[in-house]
Structure formats: C-alpha cells, structure tokens
Chain A
Amino acid sequence: MTHAINTEKVNVSDRYMQLIHNLHDDKVKINDEKLKIRGSIDIDDHGFICFPDFHFEPEYAEDGLVHGPKLIGKNFGRFMREMPKYINRNSALATCWVGVIQEFMKIGVAKEDRPSKEWHDTVEKYHILQPGFAGMNHLCPDVNIGLELGWKGLLDKVRKYREINQPENTDFYDGEELLLLGIIDWVEAHAKLAEELAEKETDPFHKQNYLRIAGMNHNLATQPPQDFREACQFIAQFQSVDRTYFAGGATNPLDRMLKPYFEKDIAQGKLTEEEAVWYLASLFFNDTHYSQIGGVSPAGDREMTSRISFVILDAMHLLGIPNNMGIRVHAPLENQGDSPEALLRRAVEYTIEDGFGVCYSLEKGITEGYAKNGYPIELGRMRTKCGCNWVAIPGHEYPLQDVTRVNMAMALHYALEDLKAEKEYSIDRLWELFQHHLSIMVNCIKEGYDKHYEVIGRNVPEIVLNLFMYGPIERGLNCANGGVDVLNLNMDGIALATVADSFAAIQQRIVEEKKMTWERLFELLDTDFKDAENERLMLHNIKRFGSPGSIAEDWALKIRDEYVHQVHDTPTPKHHLMTIPGMFSHGDVYMYGKKTPATPNGRHNGDPISHSSEPDPGFARGIDTFSPALKANAVAKTQAGYGNSAPLHLDIDTGLIENEGGVDALVALIHAHEQMDGTLINMNCVSKEKLLKAHEDPSAYPDLVVRVTGYSAFFASLSKEYRQQIVDRFLSA
C-alpha cells in the first residue's frame, strides 16, 4: 500500500491569488492584441506574444530557402539572440516566444529532395492536404534529459559525441551546437533584462522577484536547474525554443518531471505549495505545451499520481486560460490508494466549474492497442498524452501522429465516379472501387513517408527535439532518420461517419427499399441536390452511424476494418517502415469538407465532413434519443485499435449536470469509455445560452475557453467557422 497522498486543494493566499489573476488578465489582453493584429487563430492557442516591430534577416541557401542542419542552426541561434526578451511583471519566470520561425524565414526541403510529380498529382487529386511528408515535431521529447544536463551540459554532450563519432559530414553537430550557443546567450540576456527591471522596480516584492529571475537565468546559462523554480524556468525556456521551431508542443508527464524537485524543496522548507502554484501558473502562462498527469508505472504495478499532480491541477484551474494538460485514467490498481480517483474527480469538478479543463487520456485502449503492434505492453504504459490526440514514449519514439489525413470521403467520391462510368451498378462493386481508391491514398502517404525518412534529416531536422531524445546526439542522426529506436508512422483516416452513412443510405434507399435509382443518385450528387431537398432528406434521415443496431454502424465497422488493414498490414514500400492507423480529424473537418463534393448521406458539396471516428451530429433517431453514452459507445467501437487516440468530444450542457450526481455520472462515463477501449475524451461544460451569446458576440466573452478538439483555445480567438463547429456539436447533444 502506498502512503496516503494529500489530495486537498492548495490554500493560496491573497498575494499569490492576485498575481495569478493578473497573469490571467494579462493573457486576455495579449490575446486581444493578437486578434487585432493577426485575426482569428484556429490552431492551439499557444502563448506566443506578438511583437509586430520585430524583423529578422535570415541567411539563405542558393535556392532562396533555409535548409540543412547547419544553416538552420546558424539562423535559429541568431534568431534566439535577436528576438525580443520578455518578463511579465506578475510572472515567476522569464521568457516568451514570438511566433514560429517559419514566419521569419523560408524553411523548406531542397527541390531535388522533394517527392515525385506523380506523388504530387495524387496528393492533389485526392485533396490530401496533410500528406505526412515533411511533417515536423509530433513526437514526445524527454525534457528530463535537459533538466539533468542544462543547456551548457547539452552543448557539452553535442561536443563529446562529435568527438566520438567524428562524422565526415559535420552538419548535424554544427547545427545543434550553433542553436545551443544561441539559446545560452538568450538565457543570459534574460538574466540581464531581469537585473535592469529590478533596478527600475520600486515595489519590494517585485524587485526581489526580478532579482531571483536574474539569478535563475544566470545559473541556467551555465548549469542544470537546482530547485523547483529553476526547473520550471528551464521548462519554460524549453517550451519557448520548441514552439519557435514548427510549433513543437509536447512534453513528458509534468508531475513525474517536477516531483523530485517539489518534494525535495518542500522537505527542506525552501518552497511552499502556494509558491509552487504560482510558478506553475507562470509556466502555463508562458505556453500551452501538452503534457499529462497521473498514470501508471511501466510495470503497471504502481500509481504515478502524487501531491504535485494536484498542485498542477490547482494552478491550471486558478489561472483559467487555455491549457493542454491531460489526465491519464485507468482502472484502479490494487493497494495503490484512492488518489487517482480523487485526482480524476477534482479534474471533473474543475471542468464543470470552469467549463473546460484537462482532457482525459485513457489507459486501456492506448496501452493494449499499442501492444498489438508487437511492442511489449510496458512500452504502451510509457506512452504519454503529449499532443492534440497523440501519445508517444517520451525520448524514445518517432510516431509522427496528427500530420496526415486520409479523407475517405474522397475515395468514395472517386468510387462513385467510376461506378457511374461503368454503368453496371451494385453496392458490392462500389465497395471494391472504394477499396481501390482508398489504397491509392494510403499508398501515396506511405511513399511520402519513405521519402521523408530518406531526406528530412538533411533538410529540416528536428534540431530542438533531437537534444531531448535518447539516441540522436549519441548517434549523430536526426530522430526521424534512425536517431531513436522506435519508429512507427501514423496515418489518420477521417470522414468515417460520412462514408458509413453514405453506404448505409445507398443500401437502404436504393438497394433494399428501391426508393431511388442509382442514376438518380448520381444526378443528385452532380447537382448537389439542387431542387431535391426531399430526396436529400431521404438519404440523410436514415438510422445513422451511432444509432444502435443500424446498418450504418455495420458499414462503419467494415470501413474501419478495411482502413486498418490497408494501413497496418503492409509497411512502407521502400524502407519497410511500420505504419499505424489512427482516426483523428483535428478541427479540420471544415477544411476537408470544402474540397469534398456532395456525398450520398445527403451532405452538400463543401459542407464539413464528420469528425474523427464520431457519429455525425443529430445521428440519434427513432426510439433512441441522443445521449453521451450512445456517442461514446460508437466512438469506442470504431477505434482503429493500435494505440493511437481517436477522441470522443463531449459538450455537456451544465444545466444537465449541475444537480447532485453530475460529477459521479461524468466520472463513470470516463471510466466506462476507458474500459470499452476508448482512448481520449475532450470535454466542455457550458450553458447553451452562454455559448450562443458568445458565438454571436465573441468579444463580449474574451476569457471563455473551450476545448476545440485536442486543444483548448479562447472561444473569441476562433474563426466563425470553428466557433460554429463547437455550437453545432453542442446543439446536437
């Protein structure tokens, strides 16, 4: 039995509450300024700060691009030195980031290393807007490597392995070294800025705070972090560097990473819990890097929740701005106490109170699914939630999740076009043609992945994350190209419900009921159901995927199985790399929908496609009324099943759960979904009235935060289309 963990809320005094509230207000102001300068932002609401006057003059290669480790390192190092330095007066930590480096210089793959024209033609024909080739980050670093070595130690490590390996081409090590030299200067510059601010500051508390920040940054320029606050400062620096390079956003579990510092400082009386809350709030103010709290040990016998897990949750709750923390949910372990249940309950209570909160990463589906790839189950347990949907083994795995989309509705579109041309119509033939076009899309991505593996390291290496992985520096190899031991490449199939409902509508209305002919269906699709609303509704209003026992559900399972088979059972053609099926659409259903012609489920040309493996909104009919359980069951049933997450989005009306029992019901729902092999739950709790008012006038609700899909964002930051997506989802519930 583990000793009891303190699960109480941290008692935070007025002084620290005020600092945290000020950080919240500053973030809302910064966000408002960003919106005015840049317009809406439909991706993660990263914590970057806009400096419109900052310009950077990059050094380019002869082709007018920046590529290659050395040139990137050289530019990136100088960028770090030149970019504005920032310390918020209410923060315990220094630094910010000012936008992704690609906005300041054109980084790209050299022409001779790009995929063939034929590959590009396929990408264009099937509208594969995210084909995987040249996808960046989407793996999980182990920041512990940096915490143990510090920036200077990382530099020493690079130099040490350069000596050991003595590579003929020194580009890889040159790039890493040039970047680290720039980072160290950048850290030192923040120490100087803090000293200057301390000198001008008249308030004793803030003056002392600036001096402490100055001291920390001096230390971190030459040595690894020595205490909890320095560890937070180092992580903030890592976040800023990582975000700057292709918006990297992953970290290993934050509670495990900070636990030794936290417990040591608390035991020595150097740290109070309220100070820890403020430091953490300052860290979350800096950026919305993805991380996880809770979970089980690799052996599966021990609970990893500790006191710091609760402190982290309190810091997020009190700050009340977008965050991307996940809590790992698993079935209770014997003799491990009830702290994981207490953490889950607290997280749900905060979600109800704040309207948003953590997302829920589910152990069984992730771990057991991953083991089906042939990996030991212990590695599955080590996979951590570190992105919108993605999970990875920190420091060891290159999984490249969330950088591809196979819009299966496009495969269906071309299958229907072929069938129309053949003039002999049957649903079996349509299925064969669908399989054929799907395979073209899948194989196109596999070919792209082969090319990615061959060329990305010499063009656009993971220059930041290589430092925080086990292998790249030791081997002198980019992590995508043999730098780490575990390489498996994800491929996300999307529009499952759109395609399943389409096949079901054809089966029911054309094949079984004979209420429509194939010819008429083709006409309707060609004319986008012009002047045929009733026939469109005939196709649309069948028992759709999500309705228990529907033929659409049978189709969804058949399509899922086919997709999984095509992705998983055959490696990439040239380098035989493992590919793992996923089903995550991100919030891209509008972007893909715009390029997708009308579909037989009554969906108009250009309308959004369905989300991930979720049923379409409004799916429930007949005697079954919509419920979160119906949707959850459908999502759990259609998981791709190999350990990569496909989320269940729940937008819950607070009016339905404010009564006693609401928290219990949501906790039960989360546990049940985990046991049914679901992998991820993203949840919003907001009243219908508030959401509709905010949709009409977002500026009136500047600090309303919602979980869009895997990421959370200020509602006001989202474009009208993305806001509509949340509203549609909510109203269908």
Chain B
Amino acid sequence: MEKKGNIFNIQHFSIHDGPGTRTVVFFKGCNLSCKWCHNPESISPKRQILFYPEKCVGCLACIKNCPGKCHKVGENGAHIIDLSTCQRCFKCCEDCYAEALVAVGEEKDADYVMREILSNKPYFDYSGGGVTFSGGECMLQVDFLSELLKRSKEAGIHTAVDTAGNVPWERFEKILDDTDLFLYDIKAFEPERHKELTGVDNKRILENFEKLVASGKEVFVRIPCIPGSNDDQLPLISNYLEQFPQVTAELLPYHAMGNSKYIALGSKPQIDIPNMDKKVAARLKEKYHFI
C-alpha cells in the first residue's frame, strides 16, 4: 500500500530553513511539547479543528450537521464550541465556507507532496536551495519521510531534515543516506531543565546529536531563545558545542506569531511575551558565538 503522511503545511518560498530558497513540508505530530511552540497545531498527530469566531457569519450549518452536538449558539448569540463530544467527522469544517472552522492536517501521499516539491525545482537550482522536512517532528513518520527523501534525491534536490532528535537512533539510520543536511534543535542543555521546558529530558537527543556529528553528516544546530524560559541555558549550550567545531549554531529569537493559533485550538499560549528585541538577540549571538 502506498505510504501516506499527515501534513499540515507546505511553504513554498522559505529562506530561513536551510541554504537557498526552500520548500518546507511540515509534518503533523510531535513528541515534545515546548512551552513556546509557535506551531501548536503541529503537536497532535491527529487532525484538529481551528476556530476563528471573528469569521463566523452565523449560517448555523455546523450546528445542523454536527453529530456530536459540539456547536451551540450562546445566550448573547455567540458561537460556542465544545469538542469533548467531537466524532472527528470534520463536517463542520467542510460546510464552513466562511472558514471560521478549519481542519488542520491532511493525509497526503508521496506523489502529491513530490509534485509540489518538484514544481519549485527551478528556484532550488538558482539559489542552491532544496526541500526541508520539518514539523512537528517529521521523524515520527519516518517511512513516509524516507520515501520523500529518496525521491527528492533521485530528482537531484538538496534535502534537509529539521528535527528535535527525540527518536530512536535507528530512525536516523534509515534516512542518513538521503539527507544532505540536518537542522538540529537544541532547546536546553540540562536534562531536568529540558524536561521542564519541553516535557522530555534530552539524554537521547544529545546522544543522537553526537552520533550524527560523528557520522560526518552536515549538522546545523538551531537554538530557540525564549527570554525568561531557556535563556539561562545559552552559555551551557555554547560551552557544550565548543567540542564540535565543525557544527554551526544559530540562535532563533522568540516570536509570538503562534499565539493566535493556541486560541483557535481552544487553549491559550503558555508564554505570552512580546517578540524578542533584535538588538538583544544580536548581543546574545555575539556573546555565545551563534549566528
């Protein structure tokens, strides 16, 4: 049977996820739950509903068609949504032409994703770019990922995998040959702090990182910097990385662009601070030798 993957976004012109101009395929599902995650819709491996009440035109189609009775009109006429009885039919999203209810996550086969990647090949050729598989954690769907990597390489496309590394090493082995570059997230150095911030400790993450570097693959470390959350870890990460002179590390300053999506998912952001000041970020980069 043909492999399918759960994808939530394909971005066609990224200049921030590897060299050159890149197409970024975002896989749905992650086994970390970082407090600052700017793609909260990427965490659950399941298809989800995003709700934007400001777009609702009051057509009541969702109320009529929902078998789980999840949608109601409140006393003040507001659209109230309670997904505890949701039967996951997503009919409410299909019938919501105002796009107030949007299903996020689609099962796509490799042919579909490859068509989109290949349509951008001229941009890759002129910019030294390629495709980046990101997420979520794309290595949780390693068979699908492996197929896309293979087919991309066969088409002469540069490949990158953006990972937090919290998977068995065997999964890396499956894709090593077809991956040109790993974008590897290090979010904290101390295991207990890592667990506190992301829900898991980083023992396996750092072990995999070291094996990956030892394998000779090109690895580019990315360190999200969230003021008041993990900035205490920056000197430790910097110190740790000194033993890997071949590895470049980039600081990713915090931005709050994902906050509206938390609300659309019916939750709220765990961190509610403004975007990181560019000058502060520049000072930290210089201090800790990040780019």
- The answer to whether residues A534 and B97 also contact, given A627-B13, A668-B21 and a CB cut-off of 8 A, is yes
Shortest distance from the beta carbon of A456 to any chain B beta carbon, whole Å = 42
Q: Which residue of the partner chain, among B9, B10, B99, B126, contacts A668 with CB atoms under 8 Å? A: B126
Q: Is the CB of B10 within 8 A of A669?
A: no
Chain A residues, Cβ within 8 Å of B129: 668
Asked whether any CB of chain B lies closer than 8 Å to the CB of A625, the reply is yes
Q: Is the CB of A661 within 8 A of B15?
A: yes
Q: Is the CB of B106 within 8 A of A664?
A: no
Q: Which of A624, A630, A669, A672 has the most CB of B within 10 A?
A: A672
Q: Is the CB of B57 within 8 A of A537?
A: yes
Look across to chain A and name the residue whose beta carbon is closest to the beta carbon of B7. Answer: A623
Q: Which residue of the partner chain, among A533, A535, A548, A629, contacts B123 with CB atoms under 8 Å? A: A629
Look across to chain A and name the residue whose beta carbon is closest to the beta carbon of B123. Answer: A672
Cα–Cα, bound, A627→B123 (Å) = 12
B57-107 at interface with A (beta carbon < 8 Å): 57, 59, 61, 97-99, 106
Asked whether any CB of chain A lies closer than 8 Å to the CB of B122, the reply is yes
Cα–Cα, bound, A668→B120 (Å) = 11
Asked whether any CB of chain A lies closer than 8 Å to the CB of B115, the reply is yes
Q: Is the CB of B97 within 8 A of A623?
A: no
Cα–Cα, bound, A667→B127 (Å) = 8
Chain B residues, Cβ within 8 Å of A621: 99
- The answer to whether residues A629 and B120 also contact, given A622-B106, A668-B21, A668-B129 and a CB cut-off of 8 A, is yes
A664-717 at interface with B (beta carbon < 8 Å): 664-665, 667-669, 671-672, 675-676
Q: Is the CB of A627 within 8 A of B12?
A: yes
Shortest distance from the beta carbon of B132 to any chain A beta carbon, whole Å = 14
Chain B residues, Cβ within 8 Å of A669: 13, 21, 123
Chain A residues, Cβ within 8 Å of B8: 623
Q: Is the CB of B99 within 8 A of A667?
A: no
Q: Which residue of the partner chain, among A541, A630, A672, contacts B126 with CB atoms under 8 Å? A: A672
Asked whether any CB of chain A lies closer than 8 Å to the CB of B246, the reply is no
Asked whether any CB of chain A lies closer than 8 Å to the CB of B210, the reply is no
B7-27 at interface with A (beta carbon < 8 Å): 7-13, 15-16, 20-21, 23
Q: Is the CB of A627 within 8 A of B11?
A: yes
Chain B residues, Cβ within 8 Å of A668: 20-21, 123, 126-127, 129
Scan A655-667; emit 1 where CB is below 8 A from any B CB, else 0.
Answer: 0010101101101
Q: Is the CB of B13 within 8 A of A628?
A: yes
Q: Is the CB of A676 within 8 A of B122?
A: yes
Scan A528-556; emit 1 where CB is below 8 A from any B CB, else 0.
Answer: 00000111011011000000110000000
- The answer to whether residues A533 and B57 also contact, given A541-B97, A622-B106, A668-B126 and a CB cut-off of 8 A, is yes
Cα–Cα, bound, A627→B98 (Å) = 22
Q: Is the CB of B61 within 8 A of A548?
A: no
Cα–Cα, bound, A548→B97 (Å) = 20
Chain B residues, Cβ within 8 Å of A538: 97
Chain A residues, Cβ within 8 Å of B122: 671-672, 675-676
Cα–Cα, bound, A540→B99 (Å) = 11
Shortest distance from the beta carbon of A717 to any chain B beta carbon, whole Å = 31
Please report the total number of B residues contacting A with Cβ < 8 Å: 31
Bin chain A's interface residue count: 20 to 34
Q: Is the CB of A537 within 8 A of B97?
A: yes
Shortest distance from the beta carbon of B222 to any chain A beta carbon, whole Å = 14
- The answer to whether residues A548 and B13 also contact, given A623-B8, A664-B127, A668-B129 and a CB cut-off of 8 A, is no
Q: Is the CB of A534 within 8 A of B59?
A: yes
Look across to chain A and name the residue whose beta carbon is closest to the beta carbon of B25. Answer: A623
Asked whether any CB of chain B lies closer than 8 Å to the CB of A31, the reply is no
Q: Is the CB of A623 within 8 A of B127?
A: no
Asked whether any CB of chain A lies closer than 8 Å to the CB of B112, the reply is yes
Asked whether any CB of chain A lies closer than 8 Å to the CB of B46, the reply is no
Chain A residues, Cβ within 8 Å of B174: none
A622-641 at interface with B (beta carbon < 8 Å): 622-625, 627-630, 633
The 5 nearest A-B residue pairs measured at CB = A668-B127, A672-B122, A537-B97, A627-B13, A627-B12
> Could you list which residues of chain A lie within 8 angstroms of chain B, going by C-beta atoms?
533-535, 537-538, 540-541, 548-549, 621-625, 627-630, 633, 657, 659, 661-662, 664-665, 667-669, 671-672, 675-676
> Could you list which residues of chain B lie within 8 angstroms of chain A, going by C-beta atoms?
7-13, 15-16, 20-21, 23, 57, 59, 61, 97-99, 106, 108, 112, 115-116, 119-120, 122-123, 125-127, 129
Q: Write 30 A-B pairs (CB below 8 A) sorted by A numbering.
A: A533-B57, A534-B61, A537-B97, A541-B97, A548-B115, A548-B116, A548-B119, A623-B7, A623-B8, A624-B9, A624-B10, A625-B9, A625-B12, A627-B12, A628-B13, A629-B12, A629-B120, A629-B123, A659-B15, A659-B16, A661-B20, A662-B15, A664-B15, A665-B13, A665-B20, A668-B129, A669-B21, A672-B126, A675-B122, A675-B126
